[in-house]
Structure 1
Amino acid sequence: MTAPRSLCVYCGSSVGANARHREAAQRLGQLMAENGIRLIYGGGRVGLMGLLADAVIAGGGEVVGIIPEFLDTREVGHRDVTELRVVDSMHVRKNMMVELSDAFAVLPGGFGTLDETFETLTWRQLRLHDKPIVLINFDDYWDPFLRLIDHVVAEGFARPECRALFSVVDRIEDVIAVIARQPQPTVPTEQKRL
């Protein structure tokens, strides 16, 4: 695969306790803008999401936010993005994020980030899409998640090859290169089945 044209980034609508995660979100946004990669994200202007989007915008990049109507007020929909799509539901939001993206990156986040990550991984496992997924394990944030995945495999609830559904990087600077090294997707996205 080449560098993605559009990268969906899942991350927190809170900034979290570790200030370095805020720096990581901003750095990823800078790199995306520098490389002409359009950000597809949850549409909020708060938390890591907002910092990421602001960094892409500040670098002259394109940002598409997708937010359910009921969260538009709660997460304060980002009105300065290139395009803000207000949709009917969380499901429509996640479906559209997959549709518009060439690949996925996951920064730290909470339950919503976990939900998006697991659903995207599950859809890839089911061959509903074949787009690269990269966990950004900055400051070891995703170590417990990785242990859980290993536990699920060890207990026989997932095949060992499921560990290959995603890549893991420790440095923000490695995200784009890791995606670019992935094979070209061979499975078209089964949009109507998502």
Structure 2
Amino acid sequence: MKVGSVVQVKSFSDYVVKVPVDTDEGYIPVSKVTAGTYVSVSSDDGEIIGIVTDVLHSVKEDYLPFMAGDKQDIFIPYTSDYRNSYLLIKGIGNIQEGNASHSLVFAPRINDPVRIMETAEIRAFHTSGDGKPTFSYYRKLSTSMDPEIVTGAIDRVACAMPECLPLLKALKKHTENQK
């Protein structure tokens, strides 16, 4: 399911994705994308795997009176597309030539398409080369994100890997206690 496209790369691991309002073109509405959702950004180098951390929609109206009309669209793009929403994405890993890495080797580019990952893809990303489950980015994630987002991500991994449910429940409980 298509979500949108990258409009800003804030850092090597933080991206802003523009989500169109019109769902008739195959895009999922922003209201259906929750925090902790796994997404895949298709890039020339491979795929960047990320987690939705927040939704953003703001119009910087307080600057409008100080700008000429022709300059407003240039400096305040939200005024011309105010109905669009933006998702904040935290990059957690890459997939290159079918090999998953739980560290970032490359970042996306502007206009790279973003889609929600299917359950099988989440499972494949969390399975090491020897077939064992792995969640090696957990520590980095749990120290840099709100516990609600991390527990949402854990829930999605639990759906994709039901055989790991006891371990993931314990990890979720530990994460909730970090609040």
For the criterion TM > 0.5, the same-fold answer is: no
Question: TM-score with structure 2 length normalisation?
Answer: 0.28
- Higher strand residue share: 2
Question: TM-score with structure 1 length normalisation?
Answer: 0.27
